[in-house]
Amino acid sequence: MKIAVAAELAPAKTIIPVLEKLDAEVIGLAHGNGAEELLTQYCSEIYSIGQGRGAGAQKRSNSKIGYLVMKDILKTAQAVRGNEIDLLITCGNAGDVRKGLSAANLLRIPTLHIEQDIYNPIEMIAFADVITAPSLEYKNYLENHYGLKNVKNIGGYPMASFVDKMKLMDKNKLKDAYSVDEFILVALGGDLKGEKIPELIKIIESLDKTTLIAPFRFERDYVKSLISPHLSSKIKVLNGFVDLPSIMNASDLLIYGAGMGITIEAGVLRVPSIKIAGFHHKHASVDLAGELGIGVVKLENLHNEIENVQMPDGPEMVKNAEKSVDSLLGIINDFEDLKKSKGGFTSLKKIWNARSEFR
């Protein structure tokens, strides 16, 4: 069997536990920073299929964005054309999924999509042959709200298995490397809009604690410019791509404005955490945070909630992750028998309309 995998960083962490157990040759289609580094050891060949536009990126017109997306779809199609791919796998709700599924459909390659965002999926999953969901409740939601067909419940989040087996940097060595002792980690992810960052920085400054900020989807220099000069020695802005799980594991508190990936990592590593209530007010990561005991807090209430933070309850998620990996392996091995009709344009329109509130 020959498989292609299109993935950003967090989706790659979801797919890798499956690749580790799968008897197949794998072609990697890496999207953005970090994905190529993670996927390389599992792939016979690896190609770049572009970068995410990012929350801190230069604003572009819709026509310019459309042109860049089409350019990357063609780049993706060129990477897999002639490789005799039996199956293309995607995960997540970003450009890697759109490009991967579009290219595969152009070339008539069967597709498997691992859906985790549920309330805000990307529209192209309407054309995946098989879609998976992490629970029966979410399976029903995808079918009932978007008219998606052939959705399978795998009963968990495979990424939790990856995180549980990660080799993390020693906490003391990490603290020495960043010249910190006790510290807060603040991760600025895709669930925050740019106009909220100055307000968040002011709140962080008011805590008067040693803080490391991972800008993630925002420009490092911009975030640094918001910090008062007299606090610059206490609040440090990290480079864009760092070993976030190791830093997270060494922190005393994690405050983050991001989605499923960091929520899973915080749960598995059992890091006391607060998730900022971002513009994705209805999101599977919000549901999961609640299940793990991670508070979802509005910015104006952040200061008051810090004293109430508890350690997330992640062991059950890890146990279910192993089962979900086995479920995915079963789906892949029986894929030809499982393929049925797709949701198609009707589902695409329903998803497009649902996503419009986040634009």
DSSP track, 309-350: ------HHHHHHHHHHHHHHHHHHHTHHHH-----HHHHHHH
Separation CA 205–CA 236 (nearest Å): 11
pLDDT for the residue 148: 96
Separation CA 98–CA 22 (nearest Å): 24
pLDDT for the residue 307: 83
pTM of the model as a whole = 0.92
> Looking at the predicted structure, is the pLDDT value of residue 287 above 80?
yes
Q: Could you list the beta-strand ranges (E) of 134-210.
A: 151-153, 184-188
Give the chain's mean pLDDT. 92
**Bridge partners for 5 per DSSP:** 28, 89
Q: Which pLDDT tens digit goes with each residue over 27-72?
A: 999 998 789 999 999 999 999 998 765 544 455 566 676 777 788 8
Residues across the chain:
359
DSSP state of 45: E
Is-contact 5 107, C-beta < 8 A? no
DSSP state of 276: E
Separation CA 99–CA 101 (nearest Å): 6
> Looking at the predicted structure, is the pLDDT value of residue 111 above 50?
yes
Indicate if the alpha-carbon torsion angle 68, 69, 72, 74 is positive or negative: negative
Share of the chain above pLDDT 90, in %: 77
Separation CA 348–CA 7 (nearest Å): 21
Half-sphere exposure of 247 (CA within 13 A, CB side): 24
Sheet (strand 211-214) strand order: 235-237, 211-214, 184-188, 253-257, 273-276, 295-297
pLDDT for the residue 57: 46
Least confident span in 177-181, 191-195, 262-266, 353-357: 353-357
Is-contact 187 244, C-beta < 8 A? yes
Across the range 154-183, mean pLDDT stands at 97
> Looking at the predicted structure, is the pLDDT value of residue 95 above 90?
no
pLDDT for the residue 50: 82
Q: What is the CA radius of gyration of the chain?
A: 20
Q: Please give the residue that has the higher pLDDT: either 31 or 247.
A: 247
Dihedrals φ, ψ of 178, to 5°? -100, 5
Separation CA 152–CA 140 (nearest Å): 10
Instruction: Extract the tokens encoding 226.
Output: 């918001």
Instruction: Extract the tokens encoding 250.
Output: 């060494």
pLDDT for the residue 120: 87
The terminus-to-terminus CA distance of the chain in angstroms comes to 39
